Amino acid sequence: MFIAIDTPGLRKRKSVRTNVDFYSLHRAQRSIRRADVVLMFFDAKSRVSRVDKQLCQYIAENHKPCVLVVNKWDLMAGHMPTEKWVLYLRDEFQSLWHTPIAFITGQTGKNVKTLLNHCQMLYKQAKERVTTGELNRLVRRAVERHPPPIYKNRRPKIFYATQAGVEPPTIVIFCSNPKAFSPQYRRYLLGILRDQLSFGEVPIKLYLQKRNNE
């Protein structure tokens, strides 16, 4: 069974200026917080708006599984390849680079069933767990392939990793000094997790924590 939460109408081409816009945006944000999976809709004939960007940033900040849905694709199918829209959305929403993209025609229902099936899959991904052994083997191979850069004349060490939670999957890596790992190296580790684990299309929280020697 699905429970669909529709968001209030927002003026797509303008920023949030009036009281009505303000409360509509906050109602949309409340719906995002309640949702297990968010469908972010775009009109195939229109460009991404400032409000779209605000909502997508909020989705990313709340670590919600999401599908970027391009609607009315029947009007554009003969004029623009899907790859061009995909590149456009990836460029506009880099914080959601892992998010799947769907092309549908709401009026006829084309691809809607496939979209709902994908939503179910994302919900299951968000609840999945990986064993500590599998996770540590993966992290060990990643470090062997690409060791962390030297920091203050020392190479930081990773000791072990564990999954601390789900919805979203939360990975904690215990190390010698969290500050020694650059944002680039953290993105590298996150990319490995996405590529190799079974929840690559949903948000993953990654924490580096100093190991307690005691």
Residue 102 has pLDDT above 60, yes or no: yes
Same domain, yes or no: 203 and 104: no
Residue 18 has pLDDT above 80, yes or no: no
Same domain, yes or no: 160 and 89: no
pLDDT band at 106 (very low <50, low <70, confident <90, very high): confident
Same domain, yes or no: 75 and 142: no
Secondary structure class of 39 (helix, strand, coil): strand
Same domain, yes or no: 118 and 137: no
pTM metric for this prediction: 0.87
CATH code: domain of residue 137: 3.30.300.20
CA distance 130 to 101: 25
Predicted confidence (pLDDT) per residue in 134-175, tens digit? 999 999 999 999 999 999 999 999 999 999 999 999 999 999
Pairing type for strands 38-43 and 66-71 reads parallel
Same domain, yes or no: 107 and 148: no
If one counts the domains in the chain, the total is 2
Predicted confidence (pLDDT) per residue in 43-79, tens digit? 999 999 988 999 999 999 999 999 999 999 998 878 8
Domain-located, residue 7: no
Same domain, yes or no: 46 and 117: yes
Structural domain harbouring 181: 132-210
HSE, side-chain direction, 13 A CA sphere, residue 184: 4
Residue 13 has pLDDT above 50, yes or no: no
